[in-house]
Amino acid sequence: MNVRSDFPFFRQSPPVPVYLDNAATTQKPECVLRAIRDFYETTNANVHRGAHRTSRAATEAHEQARASVASFIGAASPSEIIFTSGTTEGINLVAQTLTYAGTLSAGDEIIVSTDSHHSNIVPWQLLCERTGAVLRVVPLTEDLRFDGEAYGKMLGERTVMVAVPMVSNALGLRLPVEEIIERAHSVGARVLLDAAQAVAHEPLDVQKMGCDFLAFSGHKVFAPTGTGVLWGRAELLDALPPWKGGGEMISSVTFAKTTYNQLPFKYEAGTPHICGNIVLAEALRYVRDLGLPAIRAHEQDLVERLCAGLAGMPEIRILGGAGGRTSLVSVHSPNVHHYDLGMLLDQMNVAVRTGHHCCQPLMQSLGITGTTRYSVALYNTEQDIDVALEATRRALDMLR
């Protein structure tokens, strides 16, 4: 996939880093950077309610962006798209509004998976503290896969919500979300999918998958930081109360009573990240035009090449094995600290991520403090992988 020239990051003066930290954040293509500049040079105005033409142009662009996002993930309507600052805010929005709704009782259950990101653990813990609900955790099997048998035993009439990642950001393994959704719905539970590590790597169709909520971050899919989306079924979002109060989310305000706006504005209090949301749609257009099947095939080739090379290093264990993974690989060595490996790779101009990856409970369950994580994107090349593998061999030799 010959797209590297689309990304100014890779045009900087040498040495250009071999960038394999894409699960943390992605580089931005020229079209995204140009869209940011174009907005601020030609269309910078606040949206909604403005009478002048620049405000009308900004509003039209902002709402067209919402429609583009809806199309990208297969939403039934643009009104189901809530612009957020990222996956974390989207999950918090659902958890907090469920708390405020007053429909949860002590003993109701929220199910998450062991490999969840902290942003899909802590909001539910807060909900449980405030409502008396119980957080239940699906374990992993010996090969670090979602334990479907244990999950089935957990499901019951008290299950209210199942919230899981589509792809583990610490392991790179895709969860069987279609089965998870079907089984949750069989007991009347709702399902929220954390799609942060899926949105740039596989096609999403929320109606086909059948989930109830889905959240992702723009910066994982070539858009700016501080952007993201929560999608939810309109009837569910309509039934939940507002979260934040202020401008835009109101219909009318008196000191005696406030009535609230319709979707999606009910959940978008205050001035939105107008430019960021418009540019997010531009990033998604870039991905759509390249084609997610082609992106996925390219990344799969890179990951297989990476795993084959890492598997030949006896000091290293690929967590979860080499098969069935998406765009990232986490490794652990009992004799080499992940931070030391990451620092040596950086000195050799290879950028990877080290640490617990906001998955401390997962690391605790594995009896380790962290891993070294290599993650690819559509602009990475076979040469990147070969350089990273050679640097890893050299680093391990130095750390023996």
CB 204 within 8 A of CB 195: yes
**Rg of the chain taking only CA atoms, in angstroms:** 22
Q: Which of 128, 211, 307, 358 is catalytic?
A: 358
The distance from CA 87 to its chain's CA centroid, rounded to whole angstroms, is 6
Is there a catalytic annotation at residue 358?
yes
The distance from CA 324 to its chain's CA centroid, rounded to whole angstroms, is 19
Q: Report which of 229, 108, 117 is spatially closest to residue 175, judged by C-alpha positions.
A: 117
Distance in angstroms (rounded) separating the CA atoms of residues 242 and 253: 14
Place of tokens 């990208």: 72
Q: Which two tokens stand for residue 382?
A: 């076979």
List the end-to-end C-alpha distance of the chain, in Å, as a whole number.
Answer: 37
Distance in angstroms (rounded) separating the CA atoms of residues 73 and 68: 9
Assign 3-class secondary structure to 323-354: CCECCEEEEEECCECHHHHHHHHHHCCEECEE
Distance in angstroms (rounded) separating the CA atoms of residues 199 and 220: 8
SS3 (DSSP) at 265: helix
Q: Which two tokens stand for residue 333?
A: 């060595």
Q: Phi then psi for 387, rounded to 5 degrees?
A: -65, -45
Beta pairing, strands 250-253 & 350-351: unpaired
Query: Which residues participate in catalysis according to the annotation?
Result: 358
